[in-house]
Amino acid sequence: MSQDQQLKPKAASAMGRRTFINTAALAGLGGVVACTDKPTSAATPAASTPAIAGHASANATHLKPGELDTYYGLWSGGHTGDMRVLGLPSGRELHRIPCFVPDALVGWGITNESKKIMGTKADGSLKYTVADSHHTHASYKDGNYDGRYAWINDKINGRIARIRLDYFTCDKITEIPNIQGFHGIFPDKADPVDPAINYTTRVFCGAEFAIPLPNTGADADKPEKYHSLFTCVDAESMEVRYQVLIDGNCDLTATSYDGKLAATNQYNTEMGVKYEDMMSAERDACLFFNVARVEAAVKAGKFKTYGDSKVPVVDGTREANKDAKTALTAYVSVPKNPHGVNASPDAKYFICAGKLSPTVTVIELAKVLDWFDGKLEKLDAAVVAEVEVGLGPLHTAFDGRGNAYTTLFLDSQMVKWNVDAAIKFHAGDKTAKYVVDRLDVQYQPGHVNASQSETRAADGKYMAVGCKFSKDRFLPVGPLHPENEQLVDISGDKMVLLADHPVRGEPHDFIIFKRDLVRPKQVYTLDEFPLATKDPKDSGVVRSGKKVTVRMTSQAPAFSLREFKLKKGDEVTLILTNLDKVEDLTHGFAIPKYNVNFIVNPQETASVTFIADKPGVYWCYCTHFCHALHLEMRTRMIVEA
């Protein structure tokens, strides 16, 4: 009997599903996803659902009116290109932070300020209007989140956005050169060059798709020209510091607590261009970067550049890094097509999940550093456990008590396993019972995270599981089903399912942290905005030829200008300042027929530029309910022929 069977699934149906999938999983992944012997009736509860009734946390998700959540959750928005802010344990969506894609509510992609962040073409239109955001992570200090920043990626267009957590707004977006399929990101937790710096100074980014470098179209049929790049972005300036040329690709990313190591799991070391070629090898790799050595190589000028980019690129390929004492990179062998690498809260291990292997791999970071220092002869000795947990392991979370929680995509389960016990089992102690618990989830879980999971302060209270299929869990709404984010109590020995939450597709990764780690500001400061109109008396229309500037303030229930006149063909820049100081008193500004709608929060200033090309009278009005006389809050824009 394999170690995988140490703790059998609770539900009888789970065994049937596992027996079936075992014979077919690697033969045809596409067909297996849809196969399940779980009942399809929404009236039939999940196997573990009855356990909720007598559990102390049964009502944890049902907060009283006015009661605040104890945790924030930052979720990727998927194809909506935004970041979602949830309160936990309630699961209530509190906010959406637009980043990569226009947002009609706040005017993101409409105002001049947001367009400058998003990036525009020469004609002033947005460079990109689609996105695919996957992973979100936040800045660290002393091994815990510090409430300064969060970051999120756009896989389609190779962009990384930064979120200011004082205002929960996007303030910078950077497009990374010479990459495609930008997937994993993770900030560092310390600075390896200066041990006194114990906070995030850089963000590491992995490129999933190898492309010819430079990608001019000339080398499309030359596989030896194809490479991926691992990228470092400065956390403060958001400029790209450097890149590392590697063999194989990048998937997810992790960083060590001492700042010395970054890593990415690799699922296509074969460098295949067809999916069957991408899973021909039985083993792939977890690729480690010696951060200090990489930065020293850049400083010493040991780099190349590609195409129009001036970003330094150092050589991290296997051939160039055979000597451990000078190597910049280390390729640790792991099985097969891993999907996810996660750092344990005790700072000792990285966990790689096998995806096409039913195993998880535990890599001891101290031994990786020993290899770089020439103290460890064989790099494979850094692997201290490689154990079976179930079918389709993808991602891993932690509870801070020595336990790991891994999603089993094909089994539709969460498996709880003990890291130390897994290491003992791998070392030969076959009595070590490392599988602690299993929980059926609905269905096909992908990402997982737990409260404070990848921090020194992991508290093992709640776990969120992102299920990619909801099937029968919610009212049908046509062919496009919501996804299912499930909340699980992990405070006891057994995992207890607390709630289902339908979410619009397709979110990916998320983090959960205590609410007292951030101090959001409720009102802006006028001095933050150079264009602010601080006194309504300074409102007016200023003309310089065909260019016109309209300055205006809003203060419930009126705009400072009752009307303003323009001439057909004017290029108009309208600047609006909200002079209200009361929190939650937001104003909107819409111009009919001109595709203009945006908001200004208390003490905020925003501007739009447009061509007054349609003569007539246009009632500009407040779109955000602000006052008993909200409907009367209007001004006339008169465009003269």
At 57 the pLDDT is: 55
- Token code pair at residue 530: 């150079």
Question: Which residue from 14, 18, 5, 25 is spatially nearest to 388, judged by alpha carbons?
Answer: 5
Which residue is associated with the tokens 């006389």?
Answer: 629
**For the structural domain made of 187-342+364-375, what CATH number should be given?**
2.130.10.10
- Estimate to the nearest angstrom the gap between the alpha carbon of 82 and the chain centroid: 10
For the chain, how far is it from start to end, CA to CA, in angstroms?
86
The reported pTM is 0.91
Name the strand (E) or helix (H) holding 229: strand 226-234
Q: Which residues contact 143 (CB under 8 A, 6 or more apart)?
A: 189, 190, 198, 257, 347, 455, 456, 457
At 42 the pLDDT is: 35
The answer to whether 24 touches 30, Cβ cutoff 8 Å, is no
Q: Which residues contact 234 (CB under 8 A, 6 or more apart)?
A: 201, 202, 240, 241
pLDDT digits (tens, 9 = 90+) for 101-149: 999 999 999 999 999 999 999 999 999 999 999 999 999 999 999 999 9
- Rounded to 5 degrees, φ, ψ at 426 are -65, -35
- Rounded to 5 degrees, φ, ψ at 5 are -95, 10
HEC secondary structure over 519-559:
CCCCCCCHHHCCCCCCCHHHCEEEEECCEEEEEEEEECCEE
Q: How far apart are CA 486 and CA 502, in angstroms?
A: 9
Amino acid of residue 488: V
β-partners of residue 12 are none
- Token code pair at residue 353: 């999940």
Q: In Å, how far are 246, 269, 404, 469, 629 from 285, measured between CA atoms?
A: 12, 7, 21, 29, 63
**Biggest CA pair distance of the chain:** 88
Q: What residue segments make up the domains of the chain, in order of their start?
A: 187-342+364-375, 526-640
Question: Which residue from 357, 362, 369 is spatially nearest to 383, judged by alpha carbons?
Answer: 362
β-partners of residue 414 are 407, 439
At 557 the pLDDT is: 96
At 58 the pLDDT is: 55
β-partners of residue 503 are 483
- Rounded to 5 degrees, φ, ψ at 209 are -100, 125
SS3 category, 66? coil
pLDDT above 90 coverage of the chain, percent? 86
Q: How far apart are CA 400 and CA 396, in angstroms?
A: 13
Strands 462-467 and 226-234: unpaired
pLDDT lower than 70: segments of the chain: 1-58
SS3 category, 238? coil
DSSP characters for 417-475?
A: EEHHHHHHHHTT-TT---EEEEEE-SS-EEEEEEBTTTSTT---SEEEEEES--TTSS-
- Topology (CATH) of 526-640: Immunoglobulin-like (2.60.40)
- Token code pair at residue 625: 């309910």
At 567 the pLDDT is: 97
At 9 the pLDDT is: 42
Question: Which residue from 510, 609, 548, 597 is spatially nearest to 85, judged by alpha carbons?
Answer: 510
Q: How far apart are CA 577 and CA 387, in angstroms?
A: 60
